[in-house]
């Protein structure tokens, strides 16, 4: 495609037979750490490290030792059963959790994100260290409080087992349709209970606003067994390490980690096209009737991956999946996989006078950018959404700059001004929590004003210093959590300047 002019994008608010012996060792090793009765065991970092070697299968050569950096990261074992007519998911979940904090924990919280838009997830049984435990539901049915039988000391671990079902909505519901079964496409956004970050505020279990993102998680490892009809084409986080078919059903074993979350989408109507970029296979999943859009999404994903690899650091996984799903949004990010609105794959359509593929291009570049800022570098998406959304918007502009030239990038940046103009160019701080914006303000400020602030830093620093700052920012906080104050401190260190006035003008609440 040629140069993009006055690009207006639509992101989340508008609108991711191999070695059986090793796998067995992983599963057995997780069980060995279990306690008898209510006892909780002191973790063995050496044993934990050995068990993580199997996850290297989904990582590029330079990242083969990365799992060993997280010997006490949370581990999730999921068993998901998907059967027609896809009205319900039956789930079994085992979580091995280590207390990596410097405080004693009396309880652990699990987020139940399917319930943000309705009471669809029901936990029927909870075991704590092999003992049945009460099911305490809080925060309007969006969080499960697990009371521990004994205080969990720093460095100790505990195993939780959950049995649950999730009813699958057949409409967009209250969260843009990210969790649904519509038009023959199954989209399973957070179809399990996940442990949020514990920080100086305690457990992050506030009820998130539905116009923003919800995940705030430390790196974790997922071993997922999926039982589904054999003709169902499945795209997911991680890599498939084993697949078997019997009686019209297939069983996949998927390993993903370190990652922030796990996502899958599936359809019998998906077609697949792939391209290799270095050690990463980029794959586009699209409906059979939208071949042009599916192939275009692949090319955008390939070019974005090349651009961001060069600017920040190489994408760590051997697979990056791009998947089309019904949603009331342009796209949504997950670890190792991104989803885009299926409507934008139809090359014959226009939306508000804009070609569908133009929207698909900007959404795909933005969502791929989230692999660096959301997955590799996490921030509190509920309290500080400007960081990952502003950075993903800015990465998308770098995609346009690298692919088409500076004029195209500047035209794309005009869309930020157009967004901000929806709020009358009001000097609303970009550093507020999601809940402090109404829906129109959230779009205008987080997707419009936030990347304009980052562009202002580029203009102030100059290109050489600015791009060195971005690379340093990524390298320092890769696999970690980035805050506004850490962003500012590193920016000031890079430019050798005081950015107090800049942050007061753009970021801080007055």
Give burial (CB, 10 Å; 0-12/13-18/19+) of 296: buried
Residue 340 confidence (pLDDT): 98
Final residue of a structural domain among 266, 293, 317: 266
Q: What is the mean pLDDT of residues 219-225?
A: 98
Type and span of the H or E element at 278: none
Judge whether residue 442 has pLDDT over 60. yes
Structural domain total, the chain: 2
Q: Are residues 214 and 313 in the same domain?
A: no
Q: Are residues 24 and 57 in the same domain?
A: yes
Q: Are residues 300 and 249 in the same domain?
A: no
Judge whether residue 24 has pLDDT over 70. no
Weakest-pLDDT range from 41-45, 54-58, 252-256, 315-319: 41-45
Give burial (CB, 10 Å; 0-12/13-18/19+) of 247: exposed
Residue 361 sits in a domain whose CATH number is 1.10.390.10
Contact 401, 411 (CB under 8 A): no
Give burial (CB, 10 Å; 0-12/13-18/19+) of 462: exposed
Residue 263 confidence (pLDDT): 98
Distance CA 363, CA 176 (A): 15
Judge whether residue 11 has pLDDT over 90. no
Weakest-pLDDT range from 112-116, 252-256, 297-301: 112-116
Sign of the C-alpha dihedral computed for residues 403, 282, 9 and 333 taken in this order: negative
Distance CA 441, CA 426 (A): 9
Confidence of residue 213 (pLDDT cuts 50, 70, 90): confident
* Domain hosting residue 301, numbered range: 273-506
Residue 174 confidence (pLDDT): 59
Distance CA 279, CA 300 (A): 18
Q: Extract the tokens encoding 166.
A: 């999730």
Residue 63 sits in a domain whose CATH number is 2.60.40.1730
Q: Are residues 262 and 279 in the same domain?
A: no
- Whether 137 is covered by a domain: the verdict is yes
Distance CA 439, CA 11 (A): 13
Report pLDDT digits (tens) over 68-121.
Answer: 999 999 999 999 999 999 999 999 999 999 999 999 999 999 999 999 877 789
Q: Are residues 280 and 331 in the same domain?
A: yes
- Whether 33 is covered by a domain: the verdict is yes
Q: Are residues 244 and 280 in the same domain?
A: no
Q: What is the pTM of this model?
A: 0.90
Q: What is the DSSP letter of 329?
A: S
């Amino acid at each position: 495609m040629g140069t993009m002019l006055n690009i207006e994008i639509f992101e989340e608010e508008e609108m991711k037979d191999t070695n059986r012996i090793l796998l067995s060792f992983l599963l057995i090793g997780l069980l060995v750490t279990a306690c008898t009765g209510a006892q909780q065991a002191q973790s063995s970092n050496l044993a934990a490290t050995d068990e993580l070697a199997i996850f290297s299968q989904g990582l590029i050569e330079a990242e083969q030792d990365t799992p060993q950096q997280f010997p006490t990261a949370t581990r999730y074992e999921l068993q998901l059963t998907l059967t027609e007519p896809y009205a319900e998911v039956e789930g079994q979940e085992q979580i091995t959790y280590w207390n990596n904090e410097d405080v004693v924990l009396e309880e652990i919280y699990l987020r139940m994100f399917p319930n943000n838009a309705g009471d669809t997830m029901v936990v029927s049984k909870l075991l704590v260290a092999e003992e049945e435990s009460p099911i305490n539901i809080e925060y309007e049915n969006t969080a499960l409080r697990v009371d521990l039988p004994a205080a969990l000391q720093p460095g100790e671990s505990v195993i939780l087992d959950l049995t649950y079902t999730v009813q699958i909505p057949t409409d967009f519901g209250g969260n843009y349709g990210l969790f649904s079964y519509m038009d023959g496409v199954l989209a399973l956004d957070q179809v399990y209970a996940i442990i949020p970050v514990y920080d100086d505020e305690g457990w992050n279990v506030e009820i998130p606003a539905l116009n923003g993102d919800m995940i705030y998680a430390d790196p974790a490892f997922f071993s997922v067994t999926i039982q589904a009809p054999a003709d169902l084409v499945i795209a997911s986080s991680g890599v498939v390490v084993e697949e078997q078919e019997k009686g019209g059903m297939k069983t996949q074993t998927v390993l993903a980690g370190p990652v922030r979350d796990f996502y899958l989408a599936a359809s019998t109507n998906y077609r697949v096209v792939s391209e290799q970029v270095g050690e990463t296979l980029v794959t586009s999943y699209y409906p059979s009737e939208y071949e042009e859009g599916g192939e275009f999404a692949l090319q955008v994903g390939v070019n974005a991956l090349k651009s961001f690899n060069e600017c920040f650091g190489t994408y760590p996984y051997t697979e990056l999946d791009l998947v089309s799903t019904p949603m009331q949004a342009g796209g949504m990010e997950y670890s190792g996989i991104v989803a885009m609105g299926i409507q934008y794959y139809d090359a014959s359509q226009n939306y508000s006078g804009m070609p569908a593929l133009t929207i698909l291009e900007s959404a795909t570049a933005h969502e791929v950018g989230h692999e660096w800022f959301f997955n590799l570098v996490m921030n509190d998406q509920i309290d500080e959404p400007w960081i990952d959304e502003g950075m993903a918007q800015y990465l998308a502009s770098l995609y346009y700059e690298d692919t088409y030239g500076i004029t195209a990038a500047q035209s794309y940046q005009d869309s930020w001004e157009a967004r901000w103009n929806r709020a009358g160019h009001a000097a609303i701080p970009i550093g507020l929590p999601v809940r402090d914006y109404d829906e129109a303000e959230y779009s205008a400020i987080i997707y419009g004003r936030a990347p304009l602030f980052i562009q202002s830093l580029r203009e102030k620093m100059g290109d050489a210093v600015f791009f060195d700052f971005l690379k340093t920012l990524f390298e320092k906080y890769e696999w970690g959590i980035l805050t506004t104050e850490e962003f500012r401190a590193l920016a000031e260190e890079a430019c050798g300047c005081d950015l107090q006035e800049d942050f007061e003008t753009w970021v801080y609440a007055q």
